[in-house]
Structure 1
């Protein structure tokens, strides 16, 4: 199955486009000299006495052992943005940075291109305490490969290839046992980049490096069905297994795929997930199906969300199993959207001292009464800054796939996809019909409003989502259109073709397929029943979170609240309120029977307020008994 990406997929969704634009603006806002500072410093190309005014802080300061890591992420994100849009300004900025990196490499002797000294890697071999130098250096190699792949910059590949010579010589000086010890110190995605370079260049040295970076101490227990992950640092292992995924695609060796499947089984299938889709606490994997004791201040590290989405995407491509696309959907809404580029979901009259925007939160706390901790633009630069700019440069990925003459729609955001099906160009335009009935929008004056019967038909927000797909083709053409039926639907989904019912299905977690000869203008309408669902913890059925469709809701409040309910349908305790504003439906929720009530919003709409995701649920008579 082929992922359709680049300029073949264009995002039209307003909220996603806002995030893309904010990400692009952030990439352009960061000064190139500051991005390059640690590289120039290492290469002797900076002669000042002081750190330059405005230099980046946090993990990018010249006293941090991970300094320089962010530039690699920046290059990858900028390259992906350019690949989708052809942005000339980003391309020009990329080219300036690549030219300076080439000069740094020359001044370092022709091979070393890193922002840290070579001795850091020698220190690993000697057992000296050092903070993940290979993780750091991988980011640059990744960025260089992406600039070559997505921008076509040959010099970026030359820098990476020469830099790889250093690693080939250095890693060849150790026995297998010695290098296994080195691999126990976080290597990031080194395995993945060697596979990338093997595919690009075909050079034998990359086969050798793949073999050396095979971390059998982790991979072999996975293949044996053991659990080496519980309480292990999660984002050390995810990039390593992404390397296995890439190695499989490049070499075709089944062992690499076996490792990926074993990892997913251990990390996800047997371990379970939070309602958001995340699975970590304190940066480590939680115990299998035991999450209650891990709801705290450091849940769901953003890096793990992004990297697990990448792993799920690989598995979907090679299996076609929609469960992986469902996993991605939950993590997109409740991770990528909830943890970066926040903009206030305004409530008039809600006076507060907080900013209206937030850049990035490293974690998504699950302990009641805590808040998101937002980073700064230039004084943080922890690891998640890097995955943030990459995640928000790749919104057009993972939405559509092609398998022969079949097109798969996996995610539901307004968008447009173009594909060649049997030599015929086909374009499919996806849009959500929000059924608000009002033609008034921000481009019209308040005095002009079209008359529309839908306004009266849908007096309240409809209990379903409607997504339309319009086919554009120059000639009648046969192909199969597959649309994913999410597992969050509350009843039968309905599919219409040109306004006529094609079929219904209650089988969530599968694809609904339509095979026919398509004409220009044919329309598929997908009706997905939506509402509130209570999602209990795997280790406590009386404690859970609420989801509205794919989106987790969070209650606003300083202290933990227990919910007392009257019946078995816990989800009925939550209802919508304040649902309409001018021409739009809105997403505000509250409890029905609590005193005082709890106000809830989608977790992506929570900014600086204290909140609660998981609620203990008890019968109402328990409250009455306690009071008496």
Structure 2
């Protein structure tokens, strides 16, 4: 898992990529060389590989409850799995190209194919609720891993937890507890939440120390109707290629933003950002997750169906 994430992962959460664009299922010969060896002319990573990385990540979490595992899960779920389905049909991606001015190739719209990515794409659509919550073996702790509207029926404790949110179009979520009992609620503080992570219980601000990339334990004798409110302000941040630091992707919170390209291109799109605070160079609507830089529109990669650039040649001034 560490080898994949640290040496072979692209910004969408996908892994691998090979010199031969017709065989992007293979890993590059040398680790940490995605720029030199990974950006082939065709696809850079296979959707099935991300599907399997998510399975591995969830299994590892059963043994070791590290926030970095669910940070990866969130990244890949939003920026690859959700981005792998066509806009108006069930068609899905096989390889996902990440070079400048690329376009996704969606196949099997009638679900008649039998490739591995066809099968896992169908399965992925049934697994969107997976790994939102975990419980400890002794039923003394609940882990809140993902911020997705959902209802958890914790049968062993006769407790229901209802999560209400419009994440990622808003930077907050609320958890309503129905039932009574003393247990820990461990909420993930995302690694990208560097502008703070704020907690209210029943409307009262809690003085808790939250560290990005960790779990925040909230211990309490919970009463029926208690409400936990979590707020994690989004900010813009860059995710550079490991072996070419000026070639980087732009994120807003957990969401990868793709430059919307009018036509195919061979060169990396160049943008300049303020070195002291890159948000000064970016305008837009956080609720719609649409922004502009030098009159170029940026949208979430999972809402991009035309040509795009997810890697940019960035100059900080």
Contact 1:554 / 1:601 at 8 angstroms: preserved in 2?
Answer: yes
Aligned equivalent of 2:313, options 616, 619, 625? 616
Residue 329, structure 1, aligned to residue 74, structure 2: yes
Give the conservation status (yes or no) of the 8 Å contact 1:272–1:538.
no
Q: Which position in structure 1 is the counterpart of 2:39?
A: 295
* Pair member with larger Rg: 1
Distance 1:535 1:613, change over 3 A: same
Matches within 5 A, 1:55-204: none
| Contact 1:532/1:574, CA 8 A, preserved across alignment | no
1:77-476 equivalences under 5 Å are: 264-269=1-6, 271-281=7-17, 282-286=24-28, 287-293=30-36, 294-296=38-40, 297-340=42-85, 342-343=86-87, 356-357=88-89, 359-375=91-107, 376-378=109-111, 380-403=113-136, 404=138, 405-421=140-156, 424-432=157-165, 465-473=171-179, 476=180
Instruction: Kindly indicate whether structure 1 or structure 2 has the higher relative contact order, using CA contacts under 8 Å at least 6 residues apart.
Output: 2
Superimposed CA distance per residue, residues 473-503 of structure 1 (whole angstroms, 9 cap, x where no aligned partner): 1xx3111111101111131111111111123
Q: Work out whether residues 339 and 363 of structure 1, in 8 Å CA contact, stay in contact via their aligned partners in 2.
A: no
Q: What residue in structure 1 maps to residue 226 of structure 2? A: 522
Aligned position for 1:531: 235
Shift of 1:279: 1.5
Contact 2:14 2:50 in 1 (8 A): yes
Residue 301 of structure 2 is matched in structure 1 by 603
Runs of 4+ in 1 over 6 A off after TM superposition: none
Which blocks of at least 5 consecutive residues in structure 1 are unaligned?
Answer: 1-263, 344-355, 436-460, 621-628
Tell me, yes or no, if the aligned pair for 1:485 and 1:509 is still in contact at 8 Å: yes
Q: How far, CA to CA, are the matches of 2:273 and 2:2 in structure 1?
A: 38
Match of 2:288 among 582, 586, 591: 586
> Does the 8 A contact of 2:193 with 2:212 survive in 1?
yes
1:526 Cα deviation from its structure 2 partner:
0.6
After TM superposition, give the deviation of residue 505 of structure 1 in Å: 3.7
Deviation, structure 1 residue 327: 0.9
- Distance change in 2, residues 1:569/1:280 (3 Å): farther
Is the 1:291–1:537 contact (alpha carbons within 8 Å) kept by the matching residues of 2? yes
Mark the runs of 5 or more structure 2 residues left unpaired by the alignment. Answer: 18-23
Q: Secondary structure at the match of 1:338?
A: helix
Cα RMSD (Å): 2.2
SS of the aligned residue for 1:530 comes to coil
Q: TM-score, normalised by structure 2?
A: 0.88
Q: Which has the higher helix share?
A: 1
User: CA contact under 8 A between 2:274 and 2:316: conserved in structure 1?
Assistant: yes
Cα 1:564/1:394, change in 2 over 3 Å? closer
For the structure 1 residues 426 and 500, does the alpha-carbon distance in structure 2 shift closer, same or farther, using more than 3 Å as the test? Answer: same
Q: Secondary structure at the match of 2:43?
A: coil
* Distance of 1:576 and 1:413 partners within structure 2: 27
User: What is the Cα deviation at residue 511 of structure 1?
Assistant: 0.7
Q: Give CA-to-partner distance per residue, 1:200-239, whole Å, 9 cap, x none.
A: xxxxxxxxxxxxxxxxxxxxxxxxxxxxxxxxxxxxxxxx
Distance 1:619 1:477, change over 3 A: closer
Distance 2:161 2:52 in 1: 29
